[in-house]
Structure 1
Amino acid sequence: MADKANRTRRWVLLGGGAAIVAGFAVREYRLIPQDYAGDRLSVQDAYQQAVSGDVLLVDIRTPREWKTTGVGQGAHPLDMRRDDFEQALAQLTGGDRNAPVALICARGVRSARLSNRLTEAGFTNIIDVPEGMLGSAAGPGWVRAGLPVEHNTGETG
């Protein structure tokens, strides 16, 4: 009887360990950005180019995230989960798929993935801001860099 209990305990421990490993794998996948071969900007350069009109800076996070941290000054909030995201982006660029568009998210993961997707969809001048709003391995991020943000109620995009 003790042998059966030990086997059961072992299977429970193995199952729990496998669940933990799977959880870490999913977490790492979500936190490690895809490689993006296109251009990149630091948050400082993204801010300067956005306010000067040299680049269209698009904050692709969710309305809840915009409400929490604000949106970087000069950025246009556009929730990447929108079904019509590509059409809305094309509208922001005036239909110019060659216009310089910089994407920023929280930590550079979603912006890298979306940069790849938009490039495949025919946008030719997509630029990633890998630091994001909250920082990443690429740098401290918009908020910690002390760049200006505008309050957003989370109702646009």
Structure 2
Amino acid sequence: MRLLALLTLVLLIPTAAVAQELPADQAQTLAVEGQLLLIDVRHPQEWRQTGVASAAETVSIHDPAGLPAFLAKVRALADRVPGRPIALICATGVRSDFAAKLLRQEGYDQVFNVREGMMGSTAGAGWLDRGLPLRPCTHC
């Protein structure tokens, strides 16, 4: 009995912290339709270099005031439409995965990682190679 309880705990803990994944093209479609809050978590210099997904908000995980400031900015965006799913994107899915796990720890249960990112990864070609729409970052 104790072994079964331990096994269940081991299997459930990682699942609770893992973000679901979303392909870039689907993230774009849902964000444009207003069904998803898409947030680019890269550094402002990266936004300047490549542009930003056209339907994305920009909140850098590299906030000079640290992760609490990052979380506060994301919370402010999410509070505009409570309950709307959130998708996070970075260059290759690593930082967005970390940020998604942070949000899940903060109680957000509908968090997605665009794991292929802007540049592509093992998960897919990436936003840029897919030719998905971009906009320049005018506030970077």
Query: In 2, distance between residues paired with 1:107 and 1:93?
Result: 23
Kindly report which structure 2 residues correspond to 1:79-98, keeping only aligned pairs within 5 A, or say none. 79-82=60-63, 83=66, 84-94=69-79, 98=83
User: Rg larger in 1 or in 2?
Assistant: 1
Rounded to whole Å, the distance in 1 between the matches of 2:137 and 2:25 is 21
Partner of 1:127: 112
Kindly tell me: are residues 74 and 110 of structure 1, through their superposed partners in 2, closer, same or farther at Cα, counting changes over 3 Å?
same
Cross-structure match for 1:50? 31
| Residue pairs, 1:129-148, within 5 angstroms | 129-148=114-133
Q: CA deviation at 1:95?
A: 6.1
| TM-score of the superposed pair, with normalisation by structure 1 | 0.72
Q: 1:148 to 1:96 in 2, by over 3 A?
A: closer
Aligned counterparts of 1:146 and 1:127: Cα–Cα separation in 2: 21
Q: Is the 8 A contact 2:41 2:59 kept in 1?
A: yes
**Secondary structure of the residue that 1:134 maps to in structure 2?**
coil
| Unaligned ranges ≥5, structure 1 | 1-34
Larger mean Cα displacement after TM superposition, 127-136 or 98-107: 98-107
Q: What amino acid is aligned across from residue 35 of structure 2 in structure 1?
A: D
Q: Is the 8 A contact 1:97 1:125 kept in 2?
A: no
Q: Distance in 2 between matches of 1:122 and 1:97?
A: 12
What is the alpha-carbon distance in structure 1 between the residues aligned to residue 122 and residue 70 of structure 2?
27
Pairs aligned (count):
121
- 1:108 and 1:132 in contact (8 A); partners too: yes
1:121-156 alpha-carbon deviations (Å, 9 max, x no partner): 21221111000000000000000000010011452x
TM-score w.r.t. length of structure 2: 0.80
* Consecutive aligned runs of 4 or more in structure 1 exceeding 3 Å deviation: 95-98
Displacement of 1:116 in angstroms is 1.0
Matched to 2:133, the amino acid is: P
Q: Give the root-mean-square deviation of aligned CA atoms.
A: 1.8
Match among 40, 44, 47 for residue 59 of structure 1: 40
| Whole-angstrom distance in 2 between the partners of 1:117 and 1:97 | 18
Q: Distance in 2 between matches of 1:38 and 1:141?
A: 18
Structure 2 CA distance for aligned equivalents of residues 102 and 108 of structure 1:
11
Identity, % of aligned positions: 36
> Aligned residue for 1:13?
none
